[in-house]
Amino acid sequence: MEKKRLVMVGNGMAGCRTLEELLRIAPEMYDITVFGAEPHPNYNRILLSPVLAGEMTIQDIILNDWDWYRDNGITLHTGRKIVKIDRIARKVIADDGTEAEYDRLLLATGSNPFILPVPGKDLPGVIAYRDIADTDAMIEAAATRKHAVVIGAGLLGLEAANGLALRGMQVTVVHLAPWIMERQLDKPSADMLQASLEKKGLAFLLEKQTESLIAGSDGRVSAVRFKSGETIPADLVVMAAGIRPNTTLAESAGIHCNRGIVVNDTLQTYDPKIYAVGECVNHRGIAYGLVAPLFEQAKVCANHLAQYGIGTYKGSVTSTKLKVTGIDVFSAGNFMGGPGCDDIVLHDPAGGVYKRLVLEGERLVGACLYGDTADGSWYFQLIKDGQDIHAVRDHLMFGQNHLGDVGHKGQTQAASMPDTAEVCGCNGVCKGTIVKAIKEKGLFSLDDVRKHTKASSSCGSCTGLVEQILASCVGGAYTPADSSSKPMCGCTDMNHGDVRAAIRDRHLIDIPTVQRELKWKTPNGCASCRPALNYYLISTWPHEAKDDAQSRFINERAHANIQKDGTYSVVPRMWGGLTTPDELRAIADAAEKYKVPTVKVTGGQRIDLLGVKKDDLPAMWADFAKAGMVSGHAYGKSLRTVKTCVGAEHCRFGTQLSMGLGVKLEKMLFGMYSPHKVKLAVSGCPRNCAEAGIKDVGVIGVESGYEIYVAGNGGIKTEVAQFFCKVGSDDEVMEYSGAFLQLYREEGWYLERTVHYIERVGLDYVKGKVVDDAENRKALYERLLFALQDYKDPWLERAEADAKSELGREFRTLAIKQAMKA
């Protein structure tokens, strides 16, 4: 039977959950095409705040990676916005002219942030907070700007404020209402939350109405003016004042909209061939912004797309269980009470606990919890089911574990919950579903439960409860994995250390052999384990293992950093931050020839060409090769830069020749792949202008030689490097630094920075291997040079010999061709 054509506009959580449900019940019914305006696969928008705070990365929040679309035969168009729906011809048209015909169309266009209609709203530095691009913009601004103003003290605004504060900005939260999070909290709980946030450094201005945003001399936002006449400084303004359903496309196609795309109980619009789900939808007069209702919609919509015709969506009872900047908050139902309602309140400011239960007759109709939300799921179940609580009213405030016959002493909350109790509100998963999956499928880990039930896979607030259920089902067989015993990924039960040891001890030299010998669970591995295996192989057996290009990320294969708009960033290497007129001329020529829109000096003393088209990369690198310039590896888990100050070569305070040593170090380490990126710096005197104190290896010149520091990190969480040793010569700097880096290369786990490696094994252990044991140090140094010899000699020859020699030119051209081929 010929497949029908399903086109989905929008690539967010609600739409992709609909596809997941559809593929589960009718995998062969449709050829599916998806258009997403962002250049990313489906990701968890709820977890953008941990990314902003530096607790997670973008990769950590991807829900369905590129392979998922490919494996399910889904045609995915990212970075393309649908601008027209032709309902007569039944096709959609994107902004780049791409067209796709449909038999059924699913609109999942989500919502748009509400931007206050005030003068200055379009100034540079004024942004919303809805997607990865907004998050990236805030991270970039926090690196160079001081004052941030967040307009809106709802959940999103507070999370944005917290993330910016953690990145070092002075943050003021402006809110129109009398208290923060007024839609989720009553005033007493909001006041407690505000007091806690003020202790974390946030400032609040309540009942303030923004009149305008003021531009500075550079044309960027510089201040916020209120209607009261007060003005506060602002280098960054984040609009978090609410969202509006994105109905522009639907309205342009004549689809009935009224504060959302109007749908019936089957999620069908007024056009029977067009469905809609998610934040763009108006169902029975309500537009939902929380994940759980959207996933309920997705399940019903998939049922009707599959032509089962038995599901209906009647609306959702919503709850909010959140972790606002590390503080637990829960609310559900009518938590504000009113006429005909009774309140039961526990208010303990000193203990940081507030509980308000709202009863109407003999039923619980609302709950607001602050600080202690362990019973939130139970209260929510009572509200949803409309249960008569007369028998337990006296004990209701103290939670489910204090109900006598319902639970027994020592029994966990999970053990006493009925199977019908909802555990994961985001995904609508009850305890019985989790227990059944654990028993029938033999699950023993949290990751397994997430994979089979989706419980704990969205906001993560129910993780502890899911772990309790798992522990109560499998007893002693369940042991929460710590960082050292956690498997590399779902493809294996072995951790990074075990895999590294097996590769070394069994002399394994290629990925298929590793997977066969170590009994990998999947035939080809995954995006997590393949890059790690590739690194472990080439670092353990540098001249035997073959570098597998397909196990590298796209940035490493293309020798360039992919950007959010799909173009690339190209960074030629500048040894030690030094350059020449010829190199600058080559960069300028390339920028003009390939129409590069942005040329920027990096923090690592190089020049970055931003906005390069992928098709231009091979030719651009070939042009750079002719000028004797090589890749700066700005994209790789490798040596990035060796930053230098001018040192004794020029500076009147300099005690050592920092530029010359920096160039030596960078050329020695050129081509060095490592568990994670590595940055070095050489300062010519203790004034430390090259910021050596926050590098993986920092070298500081003193009168009698050099002090070496290791395991610094200038990233999200700045870590000051630790003193390693003192040496007297350039050669010793190279030997000690090289030995340390080789030890890290041999023992570090993939994606583990030097600071985390040192935390894991201890600085004394590393000193014992490198500083105290001269024989072992020399052996490590020799292994490093041996591993890098294919990179080292030709490029040192290029720097010292005639850059226009025929031999040098031939070698460079060959190397670039090989790199691009890989």
Q: How far is CA 20 from the centre of its chain?
A: 22
Q: Which residues contact 398 (CB under 8 A, 6 or more apart)?
A: none
User: Which DSSP string corresponds to 739-800?
Assistant: HHHHHHHHHPPTT--HHHHHHHH-HHHHHHHHTS-HHHHHHHHHHHHHHHHHHHHHHHHHHH
Amino acid residing at 324: V
* Order of all β-strands in the sheet with 210-215: 210-215, 221-226, 231-233
Is 526 assigned a ligand-binding role in the annotation?
no
763-770 helix and 730-747 helix, angle to the nearest 10 degrees: 120
Provide the CB-side half-sphere exposure for 143 (13 A, CA). 14
Please count the CA atoms within 13 angstroms of the CA of 574 that sit on its side-chain side: 23
Measure Cα distances from 170 to 156, 198, 331, 459 in Å.
Answer: 18, 12, 29, 27
Is 368 labelled a binding residue? Answer: no
Rounded-to-integer distance, Cα 123 and Cα 633, Å: 34
Distance CA 822, CA 819 (A): 5
Cβ proximity of 6 and 106 under 8 Å: yes
The answer to whether 469 touches 411, Cβ cutoff 8 Å, is: no
Residue for token pair 């095409």:
33
430 is in an annotated binding site: no
3-class SS of residue 222: strand
Going along 182-287, which residue ranges are E strands?
Answer: 203-206, 210-215, 221-226, 231-233, 236-239, 243-245, 261-263, 274-276, 281-283
Q: Name which of 401, 372, 366 is nearest 384 in CA terms.
A: 366
List 644's β-bridge partners, or say none.
682
Q: How far apart are CA 70 and CA 675, in angstroms?
A: 28
CB 531 within 8 A of CB 675: no
Q: Find, among 439, 401, 398, the residue nearest to 417 by Cα.
A: 401
DSSP state of 281: E
| Dihedral of alpha carbons 417, 423, 429, 433, sign | negative
Annotated ligand binding at 491? The verdict is no
Would you tell me the crossing angle of helices 187-199 and 155-166 to the nearest 10 degrees? 10
Which residues are paired to 356 by β-bridges? 345, 368
Q: Are 665 and 733 in contact (CB under 8 A)?
A: yes
Residue set of the binding site for siroheme: 689
Residue set of the binding site for [4Fe-4S] cluster: 645, 651, 685, 689
Residue set of the binding site: 645, 651, 685, 689
